[in-house]
Amino acid sequence: MLNSPMPNTSKHLEPRWPAMLALLAVGGLRLSLPESLSAGPDWLLIVIVGVLLIPTAWARQHGKDSLNKILGHLLTSIVTADMIWSLGLLVAALPAHRQSPKDLLRSAAALWITNILVFASWYWRLDAGGPRQRELRGVHTDGAFLFPQMTLDQQAKREMGEQCWSPGFVDYLFLAFNTSTAFSPTDSPVLSPWAKLLMMVQSLISLTTVALLAARAVNIL
């Protein structure tokens, strides 16, 4: 009896550069904030991100999945904490009118985009065990989000060439963008409690940034 061939997961390897670029972009957006809204020098975050991405990429290349996962969560936690800190400082500065209208608008826009990138990174890292576990499974059939591709029957998947579909970073970026604009998921229902909690936090940050900060800046222009 012939042994069944093992599934080839190499073709399911997801490129990690979109997620890395997203975190570098968060560090770059930090440069647009006034110094009064930054914890330390405005260049500090992008340096930390750049330095931590080196061992993260090394661990990925050498198959050290546990180390890669730990460093990835550490890096995402740092940019999340920095974003929340800057948002808190900006909200606290509103009553004192310490920021000019242009600074408020620029800061609100930077924090709104940062919010999307940060939570896209969290969804990408946490869904279905993370990117490495999704790669090993090859086909994405279960997770915290019900993507449209997951609802197709087998015949439709074959016709569309989606038999081995698995979500990439752009899928989670789209999900995070919808959450920040519509304050709710659009095409992908949320199934997991942790994902619902994260989306609530993201929507709250987006609402605070858009409704409170941007509206205040426009009113005093």
Can you give the pLDDT of all 221 residues of the chain as single tens digits?
334 344 444 445 667 888 999 999 999 999 988 888 888 888 999 999 999 999 999 998 898 999 999 999 999 999 999 999 999 888 887 777 777 777 888 888 899 999 999 999 999 999 999 998 988 888 888 899 999 888 887 787 777 777 788 899 999 999 999 999 887 777 888 999 999 999 999 999 998 888 776 666 666 65
Cα–Cα distance measured from residue 41 to residue 31, given in angstroms and rounded to the nearest whole number: 9
Give me the pLDDT at residue 215, please: 65
Give me the pLDDT at residue 6, please: 41
Residue-range domain boundaries for the chain: 16-219
**Which uninterrupted H or E stretch holds 159?**
helix 154-160
Count, in order, helices (H) and strands (E) of the chain. 9, 0
CA neighbours within 13 Å on the CB side: how many for 106? Answer: 13
Distance of CA 162 to the CA centre of its chain: 24
Distance of CA 200 to the CA centre of its chain: 14
Outline where the chain has alpha helix (H).
Answer: 17-30, 44-61, 65-93, 101-126, 131-137, 154-160, 169-182, 193-207, 215-219
DSSP bridge pairs for 190: 145
Nearest to residue 185, comparing CAs of 140, 129, 149, 145? Answer: 145
